[in-house]
Chains A and B, each alone.
Chain A
Amino acid sequence: RKEVEQDPGPFNVPEGATVAFNCTYSNSASQSFFWYRQDCRKEPKLLMSVYSSGNEDGRFTAQLNRASQYISLLIRDSKLSDSATYLCVVTNSGGYQKVTFGTGTKLQVIP
């Protein structure tokens, strides 16, 4: 089983739609969680950190469910500019706190 798993998509959604991505992780001792956005052939950029209480940043909402070991990202009112690959990132416990990336979920917002 992969340490971090995501549905690769692609998710093709119309502008204005709400779309949700899930990500599961295997290490119950994982400590930090993030969503990154990556545009084609460019560097990943931090979208938001994910907290146990859930957090929101504009049209984006992230949730963490430790009991079920998954995190989610909800995008409301999708824009064309949201088209990208979304990477789920998990940091494990331990001295170095290894960072593990999911392979990404591709989102295509269509006019």
Chain B
Amino acid sequence: EAQVTQNPRYLITVTGKKLTVTCSQNMNHEYMSWYRQDPGLGLRQIYYSMNVEVTDKGDVPEGYKVSRKEKRNFPLILESPSPNQTSLYFCASRQGASQPQHFGDGTRLSIL
């Protein structure tokens, strides 16, 4: 089954404790992205990747890092999480630049 898999689905943690949210897709897609969704603000892009070792900042990259060492994986790293990063996070992938995106189930992060 074609899918984007994120883990964990839910996480409650404390300020400053490094965490990683994993994202994996099995569709051999080149393009992958991370978004956060907050009430009233919609989906905002954090980082994106056009291929292995090619990543770039989206609209709200501060406080986040990513890596793309393999085509299928695109982890999101919060080196020192803060409460303002409490949000619903989605990973997405797409086959080509003009193709629709496929989303993971989402990760709900709470930073206390």
Q: Which residues of A contact B (CB under 8 A)?
A: 31-32, 34, 41-46, 49, 87, 89, 91, 95-99, 101-104
CB within 8 Å: A-B pair count: 50
- Check A44 against B90 for contact (C-beta < 8 Å): yes
The CA of A43 and the CA of B107, in the complex, are separated in Å by 10
- Nearest A residue (CB) for B33: A99
Contacting residues, chain B, for A99 (C-beta < 8 A): 33, 45, 101
Is B81 interfacial (CB-CB < 8 Å)? no
With beta carbons under 8 angstroms apart, the residue of B40, B48, B98, B108 that contacts A91 is: B98
Q: Which residues of B contact A (CB under 8 A)?
A: 31, 33, 35, 40-43, 45, 48, 50, 56, 88, 90, 97-106, 108
Beyond the given A87-B43, A96-B97, A99-B101, could you list 8 further A-B residue pairs with CB under 8 A, ordered by the A residue number?
A32-B98, A42-B106, A87-B42, A91-B98, A95-B50, A97-B97, A98-B45, A103-B41
Contacting residues, chain A, for B104 (C-beta < 8 A): 43
Output the least CB separation between B102 and chain A (Å): 8
The CA of A79 and the CA of B97, in the complex, are separated in Å by 33
The CA of A49 and the CA of B101, in the complex, are separated in Å by 11
Contacting residues, chain B, for A89 (C-beta < 8 A): 100-101
The CA of A74 and the CA of B100, in the complex, are separated in Å by 20
- Check A44 against B40 for contact (C-beta < 8 Å): no
- Check B56 against A96 for contact (C-beta < 8 Å): yes
The CA of A35 and the CA of B40, in the complex, are separated in Å by 18
- Nearest A residue (CB) for B6: A43
The CA of A104 and the CA of B105, in the complex, are separated in Å by 18
With beta carbons under 8 angstroms apart, the residue of B42, B56, B88, B100 that contacts A101 is: B42
Output the least CB separation between A42 and chain B (Å): 7
